[in-house]
Amino acid sequence: MLRWQIAIQEYRGNITIVHKSGNIHKNADVLSRWGLANTTETPSWVPQEEYHMEGICVTDVGTDFFTQDEMWKMAYDEGRFHLLDGIPYHRTKHTCVLALTDRTLINTILHEFHDSVAAGHLSEDSILERVKTCSWWPNWKKDVADYFQTVTDARKQIEPRERNMK
């Protein structure tokens, strides 16, 4: 690209560059598209162990993946999980974030994004955006809303006491 910029620099101001789309390579963005599920019907099918994620949840997350509720199983069957260095990640159209099953880890994430000193007690929408960029679990939006409501209710109970003390 730099070669072309240098080559046409002397003509700057005298030319107009117009893009004309061609008939070849219309699907140039193919690498960022959603991948196909690994099934026998797919041409790129690769046989895998039947329960290849089982050990991860037992050792790292604390709960067996295959004893989780139907929400997890549906997402797994749709090919929305990816295993990287022994850690499960949840894939969406444009992101890949850490998948959580342990309630303790989920509560830690919620605390760090709202109540910690660095978090700044953000609004519910801001917390949703921050959680979305790093982690996923079933019904995560509802959990964030419930956590925010609980914290807001607790703050409302504390504020009148502080006013009376002044």
Residue 92 lies in a domain: yes
**CATH number of the domain enclosing 118:** 1.10.340.70
Strands 81-84 and 87-91: antiparallel
Residue 42 lies in a domain: no
Residue 17 lies in a domain: no
Residue 39 lies in a domain: no
**pLDDT for residue 51:** 44
- Tell me, yes or no, if the pTM score tops 0.85: no
Strand, coil or helix: 46: coil
- As a whole-number percent, the residues of the chain with pLDDT over 70 amount to 57
Domain with 73, as residue range(s), is 53-165
Count structural domains, the chain.
1
**pLDDT for residue 93:** 75
54-96 pLDDT, tens digit each? 333 434 443 445 556 666 667 666 777 777 776 778 887 777 8
**pLDDT for residue 91:** 80
Quote the CA–CA distance of 33 and 49 in Å, as a whole number. Answer: 26
Residue 158 lies in a domain: yes
Which residues have a Cβ under 8 Å from the Cβ of 98 and sit 6 or more positions away?
Answer: 87, 88, 89, 90, 134, 135, 136
Residue 28 lies in a domain: no
Quote the CA–CA distance of 155 and 117 in Å, as a whole number. Answer: 16
CA distances from 147 to 38, 107, 123, 142, 144 (A): 36, 9, 12, 9, 5
Residue 138 lies in a domain: yes
Residue 33 lies in a domain: no
- Which stretches of the chain score pLDDT less than 50? 50-64
CA distances from 100 to 13, 14, 63, 103, 108 (A): 55, 57, 10, 8, 11
